[in-house]
Structure 1
Amino acid sequence: MTTTHSVSPLRVAAVRPEAKAADVTAQRVAELGSALDARLAAIAQRHTRAKFASSLAAEDMALTHAIFSRGLPIEVFTLNTGRLHAETVGMIETVAQRYGRRVIAFDPDAEAIKAYVDTFGLNAFYDSVALRQRCCAIRKVEPLNRALSDADAWLTGQRREQSVTRTELALEEFDAPRGMPKYNPLFDWDEGEVWAYLLAHQVPVNPLHARGYPSIGCEPCTRAIRPGEDSRAGRWWWESRDTKECGLHVSSAH
C-alpha cells in the first residue's frame, strides 16, 4: 500500500533574485554572456541536430534566452511529465510570447503511466527509491530518449554547484547509453551568476523561484527549501542526498 506523505509548503522567506546577483558585476555578466555565446555557437557549428532539454527553471531559461535571442539552430524541448506545477507548464507559452519560438513538449506514454498507477499507486514514488526511479523512468527518461532519438548532441542546464552528484561535471561529456556528446554550458557558473545574467537580459523566469524553489521538478517531488539548504535540497527531499537524480544524467561519462 502506498504511504501518504503530507507535503505542506515550508514557511520560507522568498529569496529575491537581486540578492543572489548582488555580488556579480556588470563586467562579469558581460564576460559570462560572451563565453556562453561562444560555447553555444561552437556546439551549433559542430552538430547538425543539437537539442537542449529544458526544465523551464532558472538555468534553463538562461540557456533558452541565449539560444533563441541569437537564432541558433538548437532545438529546445521540455519533458511534460504530467505532474509539473501549473507555473512550470505556463512557462512554455511565456517563452513563445517572448521569443517567437516554441519549447517543444514531450509527454510520457499514457499506457505506461496507467500500468504504474494501477500496480503501485499514484504516489508510490514516496515508498522507495526504486519506485521513484521507476516513475522517473516512465515520465522523464523514456520521453527524453524519444526526444533525442534523432539528435546528434544534447545540452543541459546542469551546474557543478547544484549538488554532490554534480561536482565533477564538465563542459562536454559523452552519454554512452544514447551514444552522443552531452554539453553542460553552465557547468562552471554559480547561482549568483545565473541570476545576474537573467536580470541583465530581463529573461522571464518561473514564478516558483520567488517562492523558495531554486530547483524545480514534478510538483509532488519538489518543495521550497529552507534557509541554508543547497539548491537541490527540495528535490526528492525524503531521500538521501546521493540518490537525488532522476536517471537522465547519472550514466554520463567524462
Structure 2
Amino acid sequence: MKIDLSGKTALVTGSTAGIGFAIAKGLRDAGADIAINGRTQDNVDSALARLGGAARGLAMDLGTPEGARDLVAAAPSFDIVVNNLGIFQPSDFFDTTDDIWERHWQINVMTGVRMARAYLPGMAERGWGRMLFLGSESAFNIPVDMIHYGVSKTADVSLARGLAKRMAGTGVTVNSILPGPTLSEGVAAMLKAEVTAGKTLEQAGADFVKAHRPTSIIGRPATVDEVANLVVYLASPLASATTGAALRVDGGVIDSIM
C-alpha cells in the first residue's frame, strides 16, 4: 500500500509541535504541500526549520474568530484540513470557571467549526477533500479531572459525524481520530516532575497510563508518529470509503469492541 498525496494541499492547525507537527511531517513525506500553523511567527519559523523542505507558515491564533478570518484570507483553499489545535487543563469540575470552559470551547471546538465552514464548500466544488478532527479517547471516557476537556472532545466527534452526513455525495470525507495518552510535548511537561525524580519519560508515561488509564491494552502512551500514521491514511485517497467514523488510536483504552 502506497500513500501518495502529490498535488494535494494540506493545512494542519496547531502544528508547530507534538501530534500536529508529526501529522504535518507525515503528510509532507507522503507528497502533500503543507501549511504549518501556530500562534506566533517564532514558533512557526522554528517548526518550518525542523520540517525541512518546502512548506508554508501561517502564524495566526485560531482560537479567535479574527485569527480564523486572517488564515482563510491568506490561504482560501485546501484539499486536506486536519483540525489538530487543542488544549487541556486538569481542573476539578467545581473549580472550573466559565473562562476555562469558554477557552476550551473556543480552541477545541470552534476552531474546527470555522475551518469546516471555510474550507468544506471548496472541497465539495472540486469533488474531493478530507476534513479531519483530532478528538480523544476522553470524548468517550470522560476524565473526572478534566470534564470540560472531555465535553469539548465529545463535541468534536459529534461535529465530524454531522459534517460527514452534510457532505454526503460530494466526494469529501469527514472523520475524527481518537488518540489516547500520547507522548507529546504537553504530556511530557505534565510528567516533568517524575522525570526529574529519575524516571525516563517513557517510564513515567507508562506509569501514568497504568495509574490513570488502566484499561489500556498496550500499557504505555502512543508516540506522536503512531497517531500521525492513522491521520495520513485517512487523509489519502485510499480511505475513500471511510467517513463519519471515530477511529481509535488509543492503545485500547476505550473498553468497547465498537
- Mark yes or no: TM-score above 0.5: no
Decide which structure has greater helix share. 2
Decide which structure has greater strand share. 2
